[in-house]
Structure 1
Amino acid sequence: MIKGVIFDMDGVLVDNRDAHIEAFTRLFKKYGVPFDREKFMPSFGMTNDMIFARQAPELLERYPLEQLSLEKEALYRSIFEESIAPTRGLVDFLKSLKEHGIKIAVGSSGNTNNVNFVLSRCHIAEYFDAIANGDMISHGKPDPEVYLLAAKLLGLKPEECVVIEDAPVGIEAARRAGMAAVALATTFSRDRIPDYDILVDDFTQLGYEQVMHLPAFADRPVQVEN
């Protein structure tokens, strides 16, 4: 039985793909490194250490990861702060889950500052019972660590949780955690999103009953890398 819903943040709580891309573009330009959007997209949803290692390993040879990450995320928040808003239908969906006694968590690769920024600016912090973010884990998506942690913080078993994701690496993380997966076609087109249980364009197409009747995936192996 489904007792909890775990929300990814980027592309799920907010549609912020373009703000992240613009932040990386500006940062890379500052340091004289070209930014390849197509090369970047498969990394969307990963932690910054994974993104920089894939996109610009030469920067990591010259500057500390913490410096690059702090600068990039500050750029992102300054770019996004004027247009930030919850994704379409999100607030009504959160209210519906709460009315039915469902536990709710964030499971995001984003750092603490970014998660707090989104929850506070969108006025949705009150709906969440737990937060698992990139500062709390050792392995980013597609590793299932963040979703397993979110379930633990909710006091639930993995098979009692549904993950809502927008990125293939996030859906893979949910599956590896033994959880059902709802996909939002916000960041990626429908044909680029694999292995979902439900696929919607936004939360106006998703209801409590649909989520609660999803099958559990307790028989899927949980894989956590050391």
Structure 2
Amino acid sequence: MTSELVQAGPRKYVLFDVDGTLIDAVGNQRRVWATWAGRYGLDADDVYRVALRTRPMETFAKVAPDQDPKECLAALHELEDDDVRSGVYAAFDGASELLSTLPLEAWALVTSNYEHRVRGRFARTGLPVPRVLVDAAAVAEGKPSPVPYLLAAEQLGAQPENCLVIEDAPSGVEAGLRAGMTVWGVNAAVAVAGVHRHFGSLREAVPDILAYARLEGSAGVV
């Protein structure tokens, strides 16, 4: 029998959120916002509750409307950069196995953070960085806009319908759904509204994510 390379179908791609999905940064985020709030004489818990639901400039407008938002952002960035250098970070269980197994050209990072911080955290946790990384500076509209995920797909050369989004937060889930992609939620006790599948942890999702990536687009010899 003659060996022949056959294409099973269109390649599948996986697009990952970072904080809360691959990197456990909740404690770090709380400390950064608490320190920021202290500088402005604000209640740390109140500020963090707002920061969880909004982007920084929107947070400043709500919790510190009398302050210069550019100065507020500069202070936040200073604290976040310092945290990347000195804070303690951990990758979620399963992240290293998952990212090391997926081909680098088959996945991307889509984050509301900035690339230099993501690279710093990945270096400290030993995670690989893919070719495509869409950060806050790459788009004019962040999550829940679909723009970040659509840009990642474009840079991968993928169609949205062939992309799987892995997210932990409502704004990211909404972004993936609006982009016309399959969205799975991880690292939450309760499923975020709209997800196609829910996993209590990233570790639980690893076999299914790898199966999704390999189900189509793999070549076999027959």
* Bin of the TM-score, shorter chain as denominator length: 0.7 to 0.9
Distance 1:51 1:111, change over 3 A: farther
Residues 119-140 of structure 1, C-alpha deviations (whole Å, 9 max, x = no match) = 22122234x1211000111111
Opposite residue 119 of structure 1, the aligned amino acid is F
Identical counterparts, % of pairs: 26
Instruction: Please state if 1:68 is matched with 2:75.
Output: yes
- Rg (Cα) greater in structure: 2
Counterpart for residue 108 of structure 1:
111
Q: Tell me, in whole angstroms, the C-alpha distance in 2 between the residues paired with 1:12 and 1:141.
A: 15
Q: 1:140 to 1:202 in 2, by over 3 A?
A: same
User: Are residue 5 (structure 1) and residue 14 (structure 2) matched?
Assistant: yes
The question of whether the paired residues in 1 share the 8 Å contact of 2:50 and 2:59 is answered with no
* 3-state SS of paired residue (2:68): helix
Deviations 1:20-77 (A, max 9, x none): 011011111112122314333333xxx432333344333335x535413322312432
TM-fit CA distance, 1:213? 6.5
2:51 matches 1:40: yes
TM-score normalised according to structure 1 size: 0.79
| 2: CA distance, partners of 1:159 / 1:21 | 35
Residue from 117, 122, 126 that aligns with 1:123: 126
Q: Does residue 145 of structure 2 align to residue 143 of structure 1?
A: yes
Tell me the CA shift for residue 79 of structure 1. 5.7
| Larger mean Cα displacement after TM superposition, 29-38 or 6-15 | 29-38
In structure 1, stretches of 5+ residues that fail to align are 215-226
TM-fit CA distance, 1:16: 0.6
Describe the SS at the equivalent of 2:91: coil
The residue number in structure 1 matching 2:199 is 200
1:173 to 175, 193, 196: 175
TM-score normalized with structure 2 length:
0.80
Higher mean Cα deviation, 30-39 or 204-213? 204-213
CA shift for structure 1 position 106:
0.5
Q: CA RMSD in A?
A: 2.4
Q: Is the 8 A contact 1:5 1:102 kept in 2?
A: no
Answer whether contact 1:159 1:179 (CA < 8 A) is retained: yes
Secondary structure at the aligned position of 1:74 is classed as helix
Q: What is the CA–CA distance in structure 2 between the aligned matches of 1:55 and 1:211, rounded to whole Å?
A: 42
1:94 to 84, 99, 103: 99
Q: Return the alpha-carbon distance in structure 2 between the equivalents of residues 94 and 12 of structure 1.
A: 12
Q: May I ask how many residue pairs the two structures share in their alignment?
A: 202
Q: Structure 1 pair 57/139, CA: closer, same or farther in 2 (3 Å)?
A: farther
1:102 Cα offset (Å): 6.3
